[in-house]
Amino acid sequence: LADQLGGPPQVVTIPTDLTDGASATAMATRVLTEHGVPDVVVANAGLGL
């Protein structure tokens, strides 16, 4: 399947403080600038205690 799709999928992780609006905006800007519009987004936001 990877060969049919042109190689293995590209996985990118960008740790972001989603409680900080400026941090979330910076992350979105970075994604769009470096990768264009994403095909899939998996959000795994959690709270560290």
Q: What is the pLDDT of residue 14?
A: 86
Q: Is 26 inside a domain boundary?
A: yes
Q: Is 47 inside a domain boundary?
A: no
Q: Is 24 inside a domain boundary?
A: yes
Q: Is 45 inside a domain boundary?
A: no
Confirm if 41 and 28 have CB atoms less than 8 A apart: no
Q: Is 46 inside a domain boundary?
A: no
Return the C-alpha torsion angle 30, 31, 34, 39, nearest 10: -170
Residues 6+ apart with CB under 8 A from 26: 16
The boundaries of the domain holding residue 24 are 10-36
Q: What are the tens digits of pLDDT across the range 1-49?
A: 667 777 766 777 888 888 899 999 999 999 999 989 988 777 777 766 6
> How far does CA 40 lie from the centroid of its chain?
9
Q: Is 3 inside a domain boundary?
A: no
Q: Is 23 inside a domain boundary?
A: yes
pTM over 0.75: no
Domain count for the chain: 1
